[in-house]
């Protein structure tokens, strides 16, 4: 899959495990590097859905257009699918580009 990033800051964390570990701690930084590697290696989100430990899930409410994968509980890697113009129905096998938005505990605390 192709990855895009919401900001240069999140790009740095996703592309440099050392920077991610400084920002989020050793466990989250290491898991972030693993999940980004899995996303890059996947051909579509369908591949990520088949990784039980990643636990891909579609978000709801104000984040209904976003997906997340688990990092270290309760933190998640949050991203949006980038679709072709006019494409309304999202099928995981058709999502081949995502924009990484943030690493966050959206259940409460922010990071």
The three-class DSSP label of residue 98 is strand
Would the pTM count as exceeding 0.85?
yes
∠ Cα 27 32 36 (to 5°) = 155
pLDDT digits (tens, 9 = 90+) for 35-92: 999 999 999 999 999 999 999 999 999 998 999 999 999 999 999 999 877 666 678 8
CA-wise closest residue to 32 among 96, 92, 102 = 102
Query: Domains of the chain, with CATH numbers?
Result: 2-104 (3.30.2310.20)
Task: With a cut of 50, say whether residue 110 has pLDDT above it.
Answer: no
């Amino acid at each position: 899959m192709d990855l895009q990033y919401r900001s240069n800051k999140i790009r740095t964390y996703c592309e440099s495990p050392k920077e991610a570990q400084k920002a989020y701690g050793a466990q989250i930084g290491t898991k972030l590097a693993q999940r980004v590697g899995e996303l890059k290696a996947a051909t579509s989100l369908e591949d990520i859905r088949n990784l039980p430990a990643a636990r891909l899930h579609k978000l709801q409410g104000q984040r209904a257009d976003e997906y997340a994968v688990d990092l270290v509980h309760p933190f998640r890697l949050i991203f949006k699918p980038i679709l072709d113009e006019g494409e309304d129905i999202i099928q995981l096998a058709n999502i081949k580009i995502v924009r990484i938005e943030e690493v966050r505990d959206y259940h409460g605390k922010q990071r």
